[in-house]
Amino acid sequence: MKILVCISSVPDTTTKITFADGNTKFNTAGVQFVINPYDEFGLSRAMQLKETLGGNVTTITVGRADTEPVIRKALAIGADDAVRIDADPMDSLQVATEIANYAKDKGFDLIITGRESIDYNGGAVPGMLAELLGINSVSPCVKLDIDGTTATMQTLIDGGKEVVKSSLPLVAAAQKGMVEESELRIPNMRGIMAARTKPLAVVPGAAAGNAKFKTFDLPAPKAACKMVSADNVEELVHLLHTEAKVI
Amino acid sequence: MSVLVFAENWDGNFKKSTFESVAYAAGLAQAAGGSVTAVVIGNVSADNLSSLGTYGATKVVHYDGADVNHQGVASIVAQAVQAAGAKYVVFNGTWKSKGAAPRLAIKLNAAIATEVVELPSSTAPFTVKKKTFSGKAFAHVELSSDVKIIVLSTNSYGVKENAVTAAVEKGSGSATEKDNSLQHVEYQKTSGKINLTEAELVVSAGRGMKGPENWGMVEQLAEALGAATACSKPVADIGWRPHHEHVGQTGIAVAPNLYIAIGISGAIQHLAGISSSKKIVVINTDPEAPFFKAADYGIVGDALQVVPKLTEAIKKLKG
Ligand SMILES: Cc1cc2nc3c(=O)[nH]c(=O)nc-3n(C[C@H](O)[C@H](O)[C@H](O)COP(=O)(O)OP(=O)(O)OC[C@H]3O[C@@H](n4cnc5c(N)ncnc54)[C@H](O)[C@@H]3O)c2cc1C
Ligand SMILES: Cc1cc2nc3c(=O)[nH]c(=O)nc-3n(C[C@H](O)[C@H](O)[C@H](O)COP(=O)(O)OP(=O)(O)OC[C@H]3O[C@@H](n4cnc5c(N)ncnc54)[C@H](O)[C@@H]3O)c2cc1C
Domain limits, chain B: 2-170, 196-318
Does A31 sit in the ligand 1 pocket, CB within 6 Å? no
pLDDT band at B191 (very low <50, low <70, confident <90, very high): low
pLDDT band at B195 (very low <50, low <70, confident <90, very high): confident
Has residue B186 got a pLDDT over 70? yes
- For residues B41 and B44, what is the distance between their CA atoms, to the nearest angstrom? 8
Has residue B192 got a pLDDT over 70? no
**B188: CB partners within 8 A, 6+ apart:** A154, A160, A161, A162, A163
| Selection from A107, A82, A1, A103 nearest residue A49 by Cα | A1
List pLDDT tens digits, range B242-284: 989 999 999 999 999 999 999 999 999 999 999 999 999 999 9
Which amino acid is it at B136? K
| Selection from A211, A212, A209 nearest residue A95 by Cα | A209
**A38 → chain B, closest CA residue:** B250
Does A119 sit in the ligand 1 pocket, CB within 6 Å? yes
CA A95 – ligand 1 centroid, Å: 7
CA A10 – ligand 1 centroid, Å: 8
**B19: CB partners within 8 A, 6+ apart:** B52, B54, B55, B159
- Protein residue closest via CA to atom 47 of ligand 2: B286
- For residues A90 and B107, what is the distance between their CA atoms, to the nearest angstrom? 20
Q: How confident is the prediction along chain A (247 residues), in pLDDT tens digits per residue?
A: 999 999 999 999 999 999 999 999 999 999 999 999 999 999 999 999 999 999 999 999 999 999 999 999 999 999 999 999 999 999 999 999 999 999 999 999 999 999 999 999 999 999 999 999 999 999 999 999 999 999 999 999 988 899 999 999 999 999 999 999 999 999 999 999 999 999 999 999 999 999 999 999 999 888 899 999 999 999 999 999 999 999 9
Whole-complex ipTM: 0.96
* CATH T-level topology, domain B2-170: Rossmann fold (3.40.50)
Q: Which domains does chain A have, with CATH numbers?
A: 2-217 (3.40.50.620)
pLDDT band at B319 (very low <50, low <70, confident <90, very high): confident
pLDDT at B183: 95
* Closest CB to A217 among B137, B145, B195: B137
φ, ψ of residue B14 to 5 degrees: the values are -85, 160
Question: B167 pairs with which residues across the strands?
Answer: B59
Residue A94: nearest ligand to its CA?
1
- Protein residue closest via CA to atom 48 of ligand 2: B265
* Candidate of B215, B232, B237, B307 to mutate for ligand 2, largest count of ligand atoms within 8 Å of Cβ: B232
Half-sphere exposure of A22 (CA within 13 A, CB side): 1
- For residues B145 and B81, what is the distance between their CA atoms, to the nearest angstrom? 14
| Selection from B56, B47, B68 nearest residue B24 by Cα | B56
Which CATH superfamily groups domain B196-318? TPP-binding domain (3.40.50.1220)
| Selection from B190, B195, B199 nearest residue B260 by Cα | B199
Question: B126 pairs with which residues across the strands?
Answer: B123, B143
- Protein residue closest via CA to atom 15 of ligand 1: A89
SS (H, E, C) chain A: CEEEEECCEEECCCCCCCEECCCCEECCCCCCEEECHHHHHHHHHHHHHHHHHCCEEEEEEECCHHHHHHHHHHHHHCCCEEEEEECCCCCHHHHHHHHHHHHCCCCCCEEEEECCCCCCCCCCHHHHHHHHHCCEEEEEEEEEEEECCEEEEEEEECCEEEEEEEECCEEEEECCCCCCHHHCCCCCHHHHHHHCCCCEEEEECCCCCCEEEEEEECCCCCCCCEEECCCCHHHHHHHHHHHCCCC
pLDDT at B60: 98
For residues A185, A187, A188, A193, the Cα torsion angle rounded to the nearest 10 degrees is 150
List pLDDT tens digits, range B31-80: 999 999 999 999 999 999 999 999 999 999 999 988 899 999 999 999 99
pLDDT at A220: 87
| Selection from A10, A70, A29, A49 nearest residue A141 by Cα | A49
* Predicted TM-score (pTM) above 0.90: yes
* Closest CB to A218 among B105, B137, B282: B137
Residue B270: nearest ligand to its CA?
2
Neighboring chain A residues of B131 at a CB cutoff of 8 Å: 121
- Protein residue closest via CA to atom 51 of ligand 1: A90
List pLDDT tens digits, range B212-232: 999 999 999 999 999 999 999
